[in-house]
Amino acid sequence: MSKNLVIVESPVKAKALQNYLGKEYSVMASYGHVRDLTTKKWGDKNSNNGYDIILDESKVNLTWAVETKSKKNINEISKFIKDKKPKSIFLASDPDREGEAISWHLADELKLLDKKNVNRVVFHEITKNAILESFNSPKKIDMDLVDGYKARRVMDRIVGFETSAPLSSAIRVGGRATGRVQGPSLLIVNNREDEIQAHQALEFWNIKVDLVNNKDELINVQLKGNKSNKNHFLYDPKKDKVIPIPDEESANILEEKLSKSEFNITSINKNKFKSKPRAPFTTSTLQQSASSELRMAPRITMSIAQELFRGIETGSTVLNLITYMRTDSTFISSEILTSIGEYATKNYGDDYYSGTRVYSKASKNSQEAHEAIRPTDIKNSPEKIKNQLSDQQYKLYKLIWDRTLASQMTDSVSEKTVISVETKENDFLLESEYIESVFDGFKILDQKTNNDIVPKLSLDEKLILEKVHKLKNFTRPKSRFTEASLIKELESSGIGRPSTYASIMDRIQYHKAVIILRRSLYRTNVGKAMINALLPIFGDHFISLEFTSEMERNLDEIAQGKLSWEKVVCEFYENFQSKLEKLKKIGENNFSGENKEKVVDPSSAHHFTDIHCPICSGKIDLCGEEEFDQTEGLREKKHSCESVHMKWIPIKKKSPKDDGAFLACEKNYNEKGRTDHKSYLPEKCWASIGRTRKNNLEYFNETILAKK
């Protein structure tokens, strides 16, 4: 008979704790969340009984139900408690609001809330020392954190459930919904798309010159300005109102002058500068780096990070590799910093470690006093344990390990060389810049470091003109968001928290409000229609960036015990409900009288991307809801090429290697719905996932021309 019971979320985590705690403890898994709000209608104090959320002035009554998948596990845990009568029960779920909520749900469902022998233990890494320390100082469930969870869960449910039907009616696209944080996230993408569409490209030219010295060494310089204004010929759209070289005629005049000039080196300036390593990972910076460097979606990143935290089974043992992956802190404990310093000195030398670097403890939106995401043991190098990890686990662990070690290593030192060239005849100033590495420092971990080769030149040396390059350019709008840059924007706007970023990315894509094309987030016509319907009504409520940021601060204060969760929810719902009626009326009007025929379903509209057909340069069209989904496989829907342009259409195979499919463009369809404008691509380019898709998308990028 065991003396104590420990309840965790996952069986892998249970196995790790069992190994550390020994025979006096029995560790059981709840398999994640065990309860959720029931899915009945909403109500207030006048509603019928049985509603899952009843709001009565400043009181909120909730009805929770055990999820079907959890009933068996709950019954097994309940039976163990009844039969074994453990001396103590420890709730050891993850150390954040969600984890606190899981512990509360378990205690409430198992009728343990008032039991004195029930304790909460919290640890941010699954190591023997951390676990034993937490069991030596157990505590009670933090009901402030639980209240913060309740408020967040209820408001998310209110917005998601209540807006679904009227929003779908308002835009005439079924099955659509928004969310308390998904709405503002879509608004950010929508606003950026509006900026891009409104941008008017301005033409400007740059001039670069190839020069050679008496040793026939080639030097590339750019025309920058003259003595009176060293940047006269460079155009910066953010600063300059006048374009110095606005057209080809102006460029030709300068080319002619340069062709008649003599070029002398007037200065060679060298300056050394340092680059500091970046701070250890927080949740958001991990997702951003994994997205940009590993091409890993936030959802996948968090799933793999959770595996690395909870443990990788290696036979009879469990390898727990990183600290808890939901954090907004860059802090690392002094004990771990010492071990990192010793590792850096031993493996790279004294020059690569200059002492402890202390980073700020947490961001302004920090929830808990977590550490940064770091390896539990820096001596577990990625190469050492590579054979025990999957390919994705290895890549993500290496990313975390490298960033942690680099954060404590010395600065890199580089030297910038600026070679200035002038012409005697017309006072032109031309420059060339080179960057050389003097000391790699923390960059020793990055094998991609580039180093310019600086030509050996001397002052007053004469150079001979080889060629003048006239480069035509157009001003560009801001780039579309990627998942990484959108997460960064959300964090800087105070929207969402570490545990929500991945789900935000998933939800706005799930409802086809946004699609990803070559890593960029495109607002679809459905997304535009959703914003057009919601913004006039909820523009000062949950769609507002300022409102949502303020609400996130309120939720943080609830979790700190500073605000009443019920009061915040009731005030939110009262304001929300009055606005919701306006949205419902729009939806009702769309299906009555003459309006029924006038309203256009946005999912039937065309959305032309900035990807061009390689044959005719026509823009590829993502036609409403029928665009090809990169990861779901081929859709078996019969549509003509005229209405669905980014579709795989079977054709006769020309060779055994041909998948018999092409990516059609918007132009020149014949009577049979076929086109001569086709790009033969492997079906896997869109239908597959992972490395196969990545390789095929590289081929796709080479084949389809992007608008410049």
149 token code pair = 């969870």
Q: Which of 547, 568, 548 is nearest to 557 (CA)?
A: 568
In 559-704, which ranges are E strands? 608-612, 619-621
Residue type, 587: G
First to last CA, the chain: 72
Distances in Å between the Cα of 164 and the Cα atoms of 98, 109, 495, 534, 604 are 25, 30, 22, 12, 20
Matching residue, tokens 């990315």: 505
What is the β-pairing status of strands 118-120 and 88-91?
A: parallel
Active site residues: 324
37: its two tokens? 């709000």
Q: What are the start-end ranges of the H helices in 438-562?
A: 483-492, 501-510, 525-538, 545-559
Buried b (16+ CB within 10 A) or exposed e, 675-689: bebbbebbbebbbbe
CA–CA separation, 565 and 562 (whole Å): 9
Give the 3-state secondary structure of 213-225: CCCCCEEEEEEEE
Q: List Cβ neighbours of 372 (8 Å cut-off, separation of 6 or more).
A: 279, 280, 281, 282, 323, 327, 329, 330, 331, 332, 359, 404
C-beta of residue 284 within 8 angstroms of C-beta of residue 406: no
Nearest to 534 by CA among 193, 191, 181, 170: 170
The values of phi and psi at residue 273, to 5°, are: -145, 160
Q: What is the 3-state secondary structure (H, E, C) of 364-431?
A: CCCCCCCCCECECCCCCCHHHHHHHCCHHHHHHHHHHHHHHHHCCCCCEEEEEEEEEEEECCCCEEEE
In this structure, are residues 695 and 684 in contact, taking their beta carbons and an 8 Å threshold?
no
